[in-house]
């Protein structure tokens, strides 16, 4: 949990230090979207035995790989900011 809070703090500081334009706003929205998609896939999937936690191993592996792709994309967007 501390990693999420610290990451949010760094994201907030980065957002406050850069001037606003259309590109920056779109990047910020995409970063938040990738974060929430990752949380949804993991937490909702965990509580409902879906996505990464599906009983079918192929489905679980597919969503696990997708989760990593989404989070990698989000982290690269943060670097671009």
Both tokens of 10, joined, read 């760094």
Under a CB-based contact definition with an 8 Å cutoff, are residues 69 and 61 in contact?
no
Whether the pLDDT of residue 71 is over 90: the answer is yes
- pLDDT tens profile 38-51: 999 999 999 999 99
Task: Record the tokens describing residue 67, joined without a space.
Answer: 């989760």
3: pLDDT strictly greater than 90:
no
How many domains does the chain fold into?
1
Mean pLDDT for all residues in the chain: 93
Of 19, 30, 22, 20, nearest to 79 (Cα)? 30
**DSSP secondary-structure letter at 54?**
-
Report pLDDT digits (tens) over 50-59.
999 999 999 9
Asked if 31 contacts 81 with a C-beta cutoff of 8 angstroms, the reply is yes
Tokens read off for 14: 């980065």
The average pLDDT across 6-17 equals: 89
Residue 47's domain comprises: 2-80
């Amino acid at each position: 949990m501390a990693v999420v809070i610290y990451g949010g703090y760094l994201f907030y500081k980065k957002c406050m230090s850069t001037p606003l334009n259309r590109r920056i706003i779109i990047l910020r929205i995409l970063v938040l979207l990738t974060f929430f998609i990752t949380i949804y896939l993991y937490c909702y999937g965990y509580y409902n035995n879906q996505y990464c936690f599906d009983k079918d191993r192929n489905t679980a592996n597919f969503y696990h790989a997708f989760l990593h792709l989404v989070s990698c994309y989000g982290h690269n967007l943060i670097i671009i900011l």
